Amino acid sequence: MNFLPTDVATYADDHTSPEGDVLQRLNRDTYAHVLHPRMLSGHLQGRLLSMFAHMIRPRRILEIGTFTGYSAICLAEGLAEDGRLITIDKNEELESIARRYWAETPFANQIELHIGKAEAIIPTLNETFDLVFIDADKENYGLYYDLVFDKVRPGGFILSDNVLWSGKVVEPVKPADRDTKAVISFNQKIHTDSRVENILLPVRDGVLIARKL
């Protein structure tokens, strides 16, 4: 995930507003006790998500991929006063961690967790979303995008994480693994979708922002 020289990345972190105490402890707890802790958004990306949410003040956010709940807190920081964040994850083993840390924030009552497969849950959501954050299994990114698209308001945003896939998307050798192929296909799908305008930010492992026209 580290594309910038270490000193430049450190400089960027040092000149980004710090994460709050709850997020710092959740970050440490995840790295100490959870498998694949790099799935956590972390300081720089977390502040980006928070800043983005603050800019648009969404009433409804959908997050696909909860993990330990770090990114949900970051996104919830920018919710409108009457807003709600719906987050979906298939791993029920991490629910207790997420809920424990959410309970320490002012947003606990605004976060609604669904445990199960996103492809089954999304069609049941009778909501119009201002912001969607996709950060789940890469093979289904395209499916999730299709399922949420009509539920996003015109002018709303769909953010997708890990779209540089540790740099594998630009490797000169044709990728053999399914995840890399899926990410490349997804990036091209968004880039050629005339219903959105998009920008791919090389932040951490890459964040693709699509604005619905």
Instruction: Enumerate domains of the chain plus CATH numbers.
Output: 6-212 (3.40.50.150)
- Residues 149, 35: Cα–Cα separation, whole Å: 31
CB 67 within 8 A of CB 134: no
Helices of type H across the chain? 6-14, 21-33, 42-56, 70-76, 95-102, 118-121, 141-149, 178-191
CB 97 within 8 A of CB 69: yes
Quote the pTM value. Answer: 0.96
pLDDT 10s digits, 99-131: 999 999 999 999 999 999 999 999 999 999 999
pLDDT 10s digits, 141-194: 999 999 999 999 999 999 999 999 999 999 888 777 999 999 999 999 999 999
